[in-house]
Amino acid sequence: MARIIGGIGTSHVPTMGLAHDKGKHNDPAWAPLFQGYAPVAQWLAERKPDVMLMIYNDHANSFFFDCYPTFALGVSGTHEFADEGAGKRNLPDISGHSELAVHLAEQLIADEFDLTIFQDRPLDHGCNSPLSLMSEYQGGWPFALVPLQVNVLQYPLPTANRCYRLGQALRRAIESFDADLNVVVVGTGGLSHQVHGERSGFNNEDWDKTFLEWIVTDPERLARMKHVDYIRLGGAESVETIMWLTMRGALGASVQEVHRNYYLATSTAMAVTVYETAPAESAP
């Protein structure tokens, strides 16, 4: 049986990947960010997942506003990374896990989540920016990737509750896969930021810290919130943190946070966290 061994929440700011590619790991402006990802890379190296299920949003690179799916699952045997206008990053393609991906598609649709299924569409910074900070890739990535794209750009968006319930359905689907696989689930996005309009440059550190607490202790409360609440508290683009709720829903009722790093140095508050399923309480 496949099993979920933990979850990761991460920002997916494109400049993270740019700073990585330019070797700014020891630059005073970037070092706190890269230091925050080192324990994540170590955790992944120790836990050795077979598959990473990455929940991200495409920024109009592979999906466009004339046809932008609410939920889209990639089933390709190999995934490449997108050229977003400045040339492709120097990253190797990453293997997919078609058997698991097809199983997830069948199970989620049977669970009444209507999906778009895609192949051969490159993955943009929503996926590759944090991925390159979390793992060594010289000589090839050490795990396969199943990408799940969520619409957080073009209204109407899926609700926070819908994303949370999708995560719960993902857990059921993964655990019904008849193969010995360790799976880590990654939710991307945010935290607080707004890149347009009168509130351009807006951040809210207090809300970010509250969100990072509630995602552990009270995800149902986050799931009940409306899009307008996320936007009011965290800025227009922070609504993408509903993708963290998909990751959180897949982890079960109780989790332990084993790592957190929060860094606000640019227009986006950047965070990375690692969660493990909490051990069951001992019977009295």
The enclosing H or E element of 233 equals helix 227-234
175 HSE (CA, 13 A, CB side): 11
Helix (H, G, I), strand (E, B) or coil at 94: strand
Question: What does DSSP assign to residue 48?
Answer: -
Find where tokens 């969660």 sit. 275
Q: What is the dihedral of CA 265, 268, 274, 275, to 10 degrees?
A: 140
Strand duo 270-277 + 3-10: pairing? antiparallel
* Rounded Cα distance, 11 and 16, in Å: 9
Contact yes or no for 264/270 (Cβ under 8 A): yes
Q: What burial class does residue 218 get, using C-beta atoms within 10 Å of its C-beta: 0-12 exposed, 13-18 middle, 19+ buried?
A: exposed
Longest Cα–Cα distance of the chain, Å, equals 60
* Rounded Cα distance, 44 and 103, in Å: 24
So which residues are the catalytic ones?
125, 193
* Rounded Cα distance, 189 and 185, in Å: 14
What's phi and psi for 210, nearest 5 deg?
A: -65, -45
* Rounded Cα distance, 131 and 79, in Å: 13
